[in-house]
Structure 1
Amino acid sequence: MKKTKLGMTFLFVISFMISALNIGAENVNAATGNQGYAIYRDGVFFNSTDHAGFMNKPDTNSYTNPIIHHSGNGYVNFDTYTGFLANNTFKGVYRPNGTVSSTNRDTFVATARTLQTEQISYNLMFQVNYTDFEVGSYVSPDEVTEMRCDGVVEYVYEWNNFKVYGNSTNWDVSKATLANKDEHRATQVTPRSQRNYLTLVQTSKP
């Protein structure tokens, strides 16, 4: 059954708070460093495009598996910086446009961590793939069947109402319509072009 964004966002925040209490290392509303931001490296399809990931932790030096991404194999999962880079060149850390608070970033992280639990396979054609459509509804993480690497980034931000790519009508990749899904197909947006719709934070290793 499709869920509203409001209800799911509340559940994500509660889940994040419980996780923080359990591990004793992070507090809700306390995102620091590059936590909650997107990262990119080159080297995909003969370097014609990039690979995208998401910062689960504030940096890549102090934490185990600080990155969430879809490598193209298996499912959306945690990884190391070395695993993400795969002997390619790091291109930068990016954030959504506009004002992004630590509370927003905590919600981004909670959404990405939820995607990681859902065993989401890879899809080359669409950023986000799903089978169930319901008028006026949104695709919650448990309803996503497949994703591209840039789909992880796009979904995390747009589910939380921060536009990345798309026209004024069909920009939200988490909205369950054929038009919104088609707006985010591979011929429209790629990991490399996606960077152009975000704000650069830094080009150095996070």
Structure 2
Amino acid sequence: MYCVKCGVELDDSLEKCPLCETPVMKIRDGEKVNTVYNYEYPVININLYELKIKKVKKAVFLSFFTISVISMLEVFFQNIIVYGELKWGYYAIPSIMIFDLFLFVLLNSHTMRQNLFFIFTGLTVYFLILDYGNKNFSWSLKMGIPIVGTYCFIGFIFSFVWDKHKSDKIKIMNFFLFFVGIFLLILEFIISNKFSWSIWASIPLFVLNVMLRYTYKAYKDEFKKRLHL
């Protein structure tokens, strides 16, 4: 019999290893006695690669955010010094801020629904600021915000489909094509209150959706074997 920790040969009568004092695992009546071993350091499974990636993403975001703050200050003071007020800087500063928002969404591991909330909130505020540049609201309330709201609402529904079928890439593609077709129809209706080009753009997507669905059902095993889906 040998010590399970240091490998020293042991007598059958020993309870502990004389070298490292590790309890001896003995067999009684054909079963192993479960012994709890106290280690100096606990064994913890840590994904070092994931931690490193998070650290890199944080560093990238902080770097761009710092550059953005400096750029916004430069634009602000340049407009104040040259014009005495915000001219083109009124549009440039919010644009830099919305860039930071999209970078934040891209580099952080939030859920799809959380990202959609950030995008909807950020773009809504952004459109209102830009539209109010001429002291009234025109296109933001009629087109900009409804389009963003439609996109985020459809994305919100799609997120549940993604959670349920994310292992089935063909099914995800089917739903994606269907939702893109729906979005195009709503998009044209918001812009022009009618349906024309969106119908011709959506019908091929719906047809491809149906064809892909039934083809995949008929040749599911072949798809998985050939395309590794």
TM-score over 0.5 (shorter chain): no
- Who wins on radius of gyration, i.e. which is larger? 2
> Which structure is higher in RCO with an 8 Å CA cutoff and minimum separation 6?
1
- TM, length-normalised to structure 2: 0.23
